[in-house]
Every structure is written in structure tokens, then in C-alpha cells.
Structure 1
Amino acid sequence: MKVLIVGAGRLGTQIAQVLAARNEVTVVERDDTRVSELRGVLRAHLLPGDACEPGLLERAGVSTSELLVAVTGRDDDNLVISLLAKRRFGVRRVVARVNEAENAWLFDRRWGVDVAVPATTPLISLVEEATGATDTVALLRLSRAGVEVMETTITAGSRAAGQALGEVTLPAGTIVATVVRDGRPTAPGPEVRLLPGDELLLVAHEATEQEIHAAFQ
């Protein structure tokens, strides 16, 4: 599936990481510095520029994309991008992030939005909403391999805050696949010290979400 993601902040980067495993992903970001930071880190085609401009969307391949995910930090941008994608380019499925709760009423099919997702929605739920397909379960919960991908966020009140990753006792058959800090994913070693705001993606063979929560929270 061809996916176009607009916005390479923390959330957009995470979604690109997950979807790029089995899809052709392009990410548009207006911040040139952010694009430079992600080159060689994110396995996706990166394109700098303002996606509110139809010409840039065309260069990004919107006309052949099956899914567009607008996750910039500005609701007005997400709405304009969604409207262009649906009305001008006929993208089959458009998902848009709602940053400010008072703007939620605008995010509907009149603006080209198929699925409106509040900013507080967890990553996995957002990707499931975005793809709208049952095979998303195969992407995030790898049932054939008997493993599951889970997410947890370190807060100031988390028991793991300030600890090195190697000091955290993980459930059997569980590994930390990545730590996302300030929107940048890293392959963590045991010496990495966990900080409030860190988001962890874990691959588990038998552990439950409750066990993962107990280990970090």
C-alpha cells in the first residue's frame, strides 16, 4: 500500500516507522532541519515542503496514494491537506489528527476526513484507524510469529524514570525494540537511561499489557 504521511513530528515519525515495515511510505515535512535529521534514520521517502500546496502533494505522489495521514501540529493545515487529498486527488482514505478538542467538529467528510483522531489516541490505535484493514493486526500483533508489539510512555511518575534500560526487569520473552525521544527513534542499549516523555515500543512473546505496565509504570 502507498501511504503519504504529512508531518514528521513525534507521532508522524512513529507512524512512518510502523507502516514502512510493509508499505511504501512517503513523509512530507515543512521543516528542512527535521527532514535532515530523519534522513538515514527513517525508512521512508522524505520530502521537504508545505503540503498545503497542491503542487507539492502531487510531487509526493498523492494521486497514487491509498492512504493519507495528516498529523501536523496545526489543525488548519490538517484540514486543508485532507480536503485537497480527498476532493482534488481522490485519495481513498484520509485520516487527520485533531490537536485542539474544540476543533473536532470540523473534522468530518465535508473537509475530506474519513477518520478524525484525537491527539491523545495511542499510536497503535491510530495506525489501526488509519489503515482501516484487518491485516493491520498482522502488522502490529504478529500473531503468526506469536509476538505482539506494545507501547508504553515514561512519565515523571513512572518507576522506570531515571533508570537505565538494563536495570528494568522485563517479562520473559520481551525486548525493547526502540526508544523514541524528542521524536527521534533509537536502537536502545542497556545503558540508555529512560527519561520522562520517552516512548517505548516493545516486542513481546508472552507478556500481557498489564505486565509491561507493571515493569515500567
Structure 2
Amino acid sequence: MNVIVAGAGRLGTQIAQVLAAAHNEVTLIDADDDRVAALEGRVPVRIVAGDACEPSLLEHAGALSADLVIATTGDDEDNLVISLLSKRQFSVPRVAARINDADNAWLFDGRWGVDVAVPAATPLISLIEEATGATDTVALLRLSKAGVDVIETAITPGSRSAGRTLGDVELPEGTVVATIVRDGQPTVPDPSLRLRPGDEILLVSHTATEQEIHAAFQ
């Protein structure tokens, strides 16, 4: 699945990392040059610098062949413009948009090209489930087009993996770490990263069960 994520803040970056780990082709767009520079080489997705509200930029990012566009910027007006362009100008089959201000929720519908409107407080996994249209949940989410599970686990003070490096954790076959959320920010899952209580780990697996993932970390 070809996916464009507009907005490389915490939410957009997490979505991009999870979808990329599930073997989707992901392009992440952001207008902040400093943010783009900080992400380049740290996340396994194509990153495009520029304003996603510009049709030429969306076309450069691959909107003509996109299966899904997710607008996750912190500005509702931008998310609506991105959605409208994606649907009307580029005929993207599925468009999802984040609602930042609940008072604007009534605008996020088909008139603006929005197929799925997601409130800002929606949990990450639920947002991805709604955005992708996946409905056959097995663990937290099964990405139906990718055929993999996305499973979340959290490190607690009692976890046997607390204090160990990520590379020291023996993962089940066919399992990779998509991202680690630490102090509210997505972190690149480097094998040398030492796990600590409070870390939230998102993993993608073709074969492992939630119980097997839990056993590896807890």
C-alpha cells in the first residue's frame, strides 16, 4: 500500500513508522526544515520537505499513485485542504484527517474529501485502524493489506527487559520493533538503546502472538 502522511509531528511520525514496518511504501511530508533534517536517516520512510497544501508538492510526494493519505498536521485548515486536494485533484481512494479542534469536527466529511475523521485524542492504534480501514483485529490491530499484526507492550519497573538494551531482547521470529515511544516522543529502535520503565514499544510481526511478545519483554 502506498501511503502519504502529511505532518511529521509525534503522531505523524509514529503512524509512518508503524506502516513502514508493516511493509507499506510510506512518504512523510513536513514544512519544517529543521524537523525534516532531524528525521532524515532516523526513520525508514521517504521524507519530503514542503507544504502539503500545495498541489505540486503532493504530486511530487506521489499522490497520483497513493492508496491512502493521512493528514496529521496540527492545523485543521491545513488538514482539510490536504484532504480536499487528495480526493478531488488526485483521486486518492482513502483519505483520513486529524481533527485538532472539536469545534471544527462538522467540517471533516465528504464535502472536504475526508473519508475518515479522527479526533486528536484517538489512540494511535485505533487511528491507524480507522485510517487504513482494517477491521480484522487480532492483537491491537491487523493491517489487512499487509497481513501482519501490530502489537504494543510497555516496560514497567518489574519487566525483565528493563535496563537491558533492545538488542539483548530475543524477539520471536518474523518480528521487528517499529518504534519506541519514550517521554511522549517516538524514538528510533536502535539495538543499543537501553530500555527503561515507561517505554512503550510498538512491534510488527507476521507470526508472533501477543503472549509471545509479552514473554520476550516482561
- TM class by shorter chain equals 0.7 to 0.9
Q: Which runs of 5+ in 1 are unaligned?
A: none
Q: Is the 8 A contact 2:109 2:117 kept in 1?
A: yes
Cα deviation for residue 92 of structure 1 reads 0.9
Aligned to 2:190: 187
Q: Which amino acid aligns with 2:13?
A: T
Taking a change above 3 Å as real, the CA distance of residues 136 and 71 of structure 1, as seen in their structure-2 partners, is: farther
- TM superposition score normalised by structure 1: 0.75
1:62-77 matched pairs, under 5 angstroms: 62-77=63-78
Q: CA RMSD in A?
A: 3.7
**Residue 101 of structure 2 corresponds to residue 97 of structure 1:** no
Q: Which amino acid aligns with 2:7?
A: G
Taking a change above 3 Å as real, the CA distance of residues 100 and 194 of structure 1, as seen in their structure-2 partners, is: farther
Q: Is the 8 A contact 2:30 2:51 kept in 1?
A: yes
Distance 2:60 2:143 in 1: 34
Q: Which amino acid aligns with 2:78?
A: D
Cα deviation for residue 164 of structure 1 reads 4.5
Q: Which whole-Å deviations, capped at 9, do the CAs of 1:12-36 have from their partners, x for residues lacking one? A: 1111111113211111111111111
Q: Which whole-Å deviations, capped at 9, do the CAs of 1:137-159 have from their partners, x for residues lacking one? A: 6994499xxx95333679xxx86
Distance 1:43 1:192 in 2: 21
Aligned to 1:207: 211
The percentage of counterpart residues that share the same residue type is 60
Q: Is the 8 A contact 1:164 1:190 kept in 2?
A: no
Q: Which amino acid aligns with 1:193?
A: R
Aligned to 1:43: 44
The number of residues matched between the two structures is 200
Taking a change above 3 Å as real, the CA distance of residues 159 and 190 of structure 1, as seen in their structure-2 partners, is: same
Aligned to 2:108: 107
Q: Which runs of 5+ in 2 are unaligned?
A: none
Aligned with 1:186: secondary structure?
Answer: coil
Taking a change above 3 Å as real, the CA distance of residues 69 and 34 of structure 1, as seen in their structure-2 partners, is: same
Cα deviation for residue 205 of structure 1 reads 3.1
Distance 2:140 2:24 in 1: 10
Cα deviation for residue 183 of structure 1 reads 3.5
Taking a change above 3 Å as real, the CA distance of residues 192 and 78 of structure 1, as seen in their structure-2 partners, is: same
